[in-house]
Structure 1
Amino acid sequence: MRVLLASILLAGLAGSATASSGARSLPQAIDHGQMGQTWPVAEPDLLSLIKARLDHAKATGKLDEMNRKFAERVKSRVMRPVPVAGISPAEETRSWEFDPSIRIDKDIRDHKGNLIAVAGQRVNPLSASPLSKKLVFIDGDDPAEVAWAIQHGSDARAKVIFVSGSPFELMKVHQRRFYFDQEGRLTGHFGIRRTPALVEQRGDVLLVTEQAIPRRGKGA
C-alpha cells in the first residue's frame, strides 16, 4: 500500500514538473540527413611533394637557375657585407677611455691546477696581452676615411676594419688586408657610433677616438 502511494506521488510530481516547464523542454537530437558528399582526410607526404617539385625544377632547368642566383647572392654578401647599422660620419672629434677589465666569477687554474685568478678578482687582459695594433674603423665607401686609415700605418701597425663597403675590392687596390665588423660587434663593444674611429692602448686602458676629418665638399 505504501509502495503504491509513493508511486502515485512521484507520478504526480513528474507531471507537475512537465507542465511547469512549458517551452523549456529538453533538447532532442534531430537527423538532418546527409548534407553532401564526404571524403576521408588525406595528407600528401611532404618529402614526396618536395622531391616532386625539385624533379620538376630540374627537368625544366629552373633548378640550375635557382642555384646560380643563390651562389650570386652568397658571393655578393661575402664581397660586400651588410653595413653596420647606426654608424654615421663624425662631425666632431671626441675621445674616451675604455677599461677592458673583467671580474672573475670563479677561480681559474691552469692545466696543472695552479691558481691563476680567484673569484671576485678584476683582471685586465691588457696586462697579459697588450694591444699590438691600432684598430681603425672606417666607412670603406668614403675615400677620405680610407686615406685617413692608411695614414695610420701598414698591416703590422694598424688593423683597418670596415663598417660599410667592400674590403675585398680595396685589398687589390692598396695591397693590404682589410677586415669587416660583422654585425657591429666591435663598434658596439667600444661604443663607437661615428667614423672614422681609432682604438689604441694607453697604459692599462684603451683610448677610443671618433675623429672629424676633412671631406670632399665640406672644405678644410
Structure 2
Amino acid sequence: MVASSLHRHFGRCPLLLLLLLAAVAAPMAVLTPSMSMAATSKIGRTWPIAETDALSEIEGRAAHVPDMQSAFGPRENWSAMKAATLGIAQADRARTVVPFYTLDTDIRLPDGKLLYARGYSFNPLAYVSLPQRLIVVHPRDLAWALRTARPADFILLAAGGPGDADAITLGERHGRALFLLEERVKARLGLTVAPVIVAQAGQKLVLTEVDRRKTDRRAVR
C-alpha cells in the first residue's frame, strides 16, 4: 500500500500541475491588460511579495520521494512492500474470468428500505468498462512489460527474487508508475502465473498468460 500510494501520488503530479497552471493562467490572462495600467497609475505604497511561489514549492516537494527508511527501516522489510507470489508461465494460454461480486452486507436506501440483500451477486463488468489492461509480471520481466504496456495500462509486480529491486526503486528508474500485486487481487482474478495480461472483453475478463521463453526465442530470430 505504501508503494502503490507513492506511485499514485507521483503518477498524478503532472495532472495536478497542469490543473494548477490552468487555474493560474486564466486569471493572469484577464489581469494582463490591467497590469500595464497599474504601472502608470499606482495608488498608495506597494511592497514586493515575499512568499515563495506556491507552484514552485509544490513542484519542488513532488520531485522528491519522502525518506521513510529512518522511521520504518529498509524497504525490503516493509510488510506493505510484500507482493503476492505467482508461478512462471510455462505455456501461452488464454482463459476467461467473470468477476462476480457478492455483497457481504445489506444495502439500504436512506429511508431504510432494502435495496439489495446480503448475499446478492452481480457482475461489475455489466455496469462499467475498463479501458486499461493489467500487465502482471515478476520484476525480472519488467522490461518486457514496459515494451508491451500501453500508456494507460497498469503494470503490477508479483513477488520477485532476493536480488530484485523494490517497486519504488524500479518505478523511479524507469519513470513509470508501478503497483504491487495484492493477495486479494490475485485471488479475485484467479491468477496463478506471470506474465499475464488481463483485459476486458464484454462482460468477462480475458487472462492471457505468456510464455516468455517463446517471446525471447522469437526476438533472437
Per the TM alignment, residue 98 of structure 1 is displaced from its structure 2 partner at its CA by: 1.0
Question: What are the ranges of 5 or more consecutive residues in structure 1 without an aligned counterpart?
Answer: 1-68
Distance in 2, Cα, partners of 1:169 & 1:180: 13
Distance in 1, Cα, partners of 2:104 & 2:188: 20
TM-score (norm 1): 0.53
Other-structure match for 2:148: 151
TM-score (norm 2): 0.53
Other-structure match for 2:209: 210
Per the TM alignment, residue 78 of structure 1 is displaced from its structure 2 partner at its CA by: 4.4
Name the structure where helix makes up a greater proportion of residues: 2
**Per-residue displacement from partner, 1:16-45 (whole Å, max 9, x unpaired)?**
xxxxxxxxxxxxxxxxxxxxxxxxxxxxxx
**Per-residue displacement from partner, 1:27-64 (whole Å, max 9, x unpaired)?**
xxxxxxxxxxxxxxxxxxxxxxxxxxxxxxxxxxxxxx
Other-structure match for 2:176: 176
Alignment of 1:1-220 (within 5 A): 73-78=73-78, 81-82=81-82, 84-85=84-85, 87-104=86-103, 107-113=106-112, 116-118=115-117, 121-142=120-141, 145-154=142-151, 157-163=152-158, 164=160, 165=164, 166-182=166-182, 184-214=183-213, 219-220=217-218
Distance in 1, Cα, partners of 2:214 & 2:79: 26
Contact 2:99 2:189 in 1 (8 A): no
Question: What are the ranges of 5 or more consecutive residues in structure 2 without an aligned counterpart?
Answer: 1-68
Between 1 and 2, higher relative CO (CA 8 Å, sep ≥ 6) is seen in: 2
Q: 1:75 to 1:120 in 2, by over 3 A?
A: closer
Distance in 1, Cα, partners of 2:214 & 2:78: 28
Larger radius of gyration: 1
Distance in 2, Cα, partners of 1:79 & 1:108: 33
Contact 1:192 1:210 in 2 (8 A): no
Contact 2:199 2:205 in 1 (8 A): yes
Q: Which moved more, 1:117-126 or 1:159-168?
A: 117-126
Q: 1:111 to 1:193 in 2, by over 3 A?
A: same
Distance in 1, Cα, partners of 2:213 & 2:82: 26
